[in-house]
Amino acid sequence: MDQDTPVILVFDSGLGGTTILNHILARKISGPFIYVADNKFLPYGQQTKEFIQERVLEIFSKLNQKYAIKSAVLACNTVTAYVAEQLRGSYNFPIIGMEPGIKPAIKVSKNKNIGILATEGTIKSLRFTSLVDQFVSKEHNLIIIPGNGLVEEIENLPDSAEDLLNNLKPKIKQFEDAGIDVLVLGCTHYPLIIKQLKSLFSNNIEIIDTTEAVVNVLENALKAECFPNNQEVDVMVSDNSNSYYEKIRKVIQAASIKQIKFI
Ligand code: DGL
């Protein structure tokens, strides 16, 4: 797409951000869009804070030189936790981040036992700790479990289906033993396995993911803008071995998807 066209950037380490992009497309928010997956360094949730900050700032700087970015969606909880503030300090366009939906979970939970599944990076972040400090009172019981291994397994589905279930089972058991009635999905990859998650819980639990809320924020940020209706998506991946681009293309629900070279 031409470099003066205002674009909306959607960024994640891999496939997870497509859960956000597809929602944006379904809501008919007008692009064009660039979807950037830094799959070479996936899973971000197991990288250090310093690495993620350096890497994401570098990618944004290159993208900003090449494109007229109108708005960026950090379709990744881990990136939001570590880099959102620095990015907001560096760029004038709206930068929309995401965080685990602790606040909505507190509203929904009847028995006050709340499960949170997120990447280790998100859980260890200061941003997550302050979110908990801000909204969670003593009467709530938070069961926080890092989803180590899940992102890689989700990326490798269907081949990794069995490993995924074996990884999920003990985590779900911990949640069930604690009697949670609400589970917060704190990683954009996890909505891709919502069926598997639901099938493993013996009781009906409420699942909270913040996709909808993030898309609302984007819509509000763009309200004043007048784009021609455009649902084109250009996809950039940092490692195209094993036809990673094709894998992403299959998941994105847009009529026109093109591969472009990683910056
Ligand atoms: N999808 C990302 C998130 O929401 C990160 C996944 C990863 O690469 O660990 O946290």
Whole-structure pTM value: 0.95
For residue 76, indicate whether it is catalytic: yes
Is CATH 3.40.50.1860 what the domain over 102-209 is classified as, yes or no? yes
Question: Class of 6-98+212-259 per CATH?
Answer: alpha beta
Q: Which atom of ligand 1 is nearest to the CA of 187?
A: 4
For residue 187, indicate whether it is catalytic: yes
On the question of pLDDT at 91 being above 70, the answer is yes
pLDDT digits (tens, 9 = 90+) for 157-210: 999 999 999 999 999 999 999 999 999 999 999 999 999 999 999 989 999 999
- pLDDT given at position 55: 98
On the question of pLDDT at 97 being above 80, the answer is yes
Query: Cβ(155) to ligand 1 under 6 A?
Result: no
pLDDT digits (tens, 9 = 90+) for 26-82: 998 988 999 999 999 999 999 999 999 999 999 999 999 999 999 999 999 999 999
Q: Where are the domains of the chain?
A: 6-98+212-259, 102-209
Buried b or exposed e, range 194-205, using 16+ CB within 10 angstroms: eebbeebeeeeb
Handedness of CA 78, 124, 44, 53 (dihedral sign): positive
CB 76 within 8 A of CB 17: yes
pLDDT digits (tens, 9 = 90+) for 111-128: 999 999 999 999 999 999
45 CA to centre of ligand 1 in angstroms:
6
- Residue of 76, 79, 145, 235 marked active site: 76
Q: In what order do the strands lie in the sheet with 113-118?
A: 141-146, 113-118, 182-186, 206-208
- pLDDT given at position 223: 77
Query: Cβ(82) to ligand 1 under 6 A?
Result: no
Q: Which residues contact 182 (CB under 8 A, 6 or more apart)?
A: 105, 108, 109, 113, 114, 115, 205, 206, 207, 208
Interval 8-36 mean pLDDT? 96
Give the Cα separation of 91 and 213 in Å (integer).
Answer: 22
Query: Cβ(123) to ligand 1 under 6 A?
Result: no
Interval 78-105 mean pLDDT? 97
Across the chain, what does the average pLDDT equal?
A: 95
Are 6-98+212-259 and 102-209 in the same CATH fold?
yes
Query: Cβ(149) to ligand 1 under 6 A?
Result: no
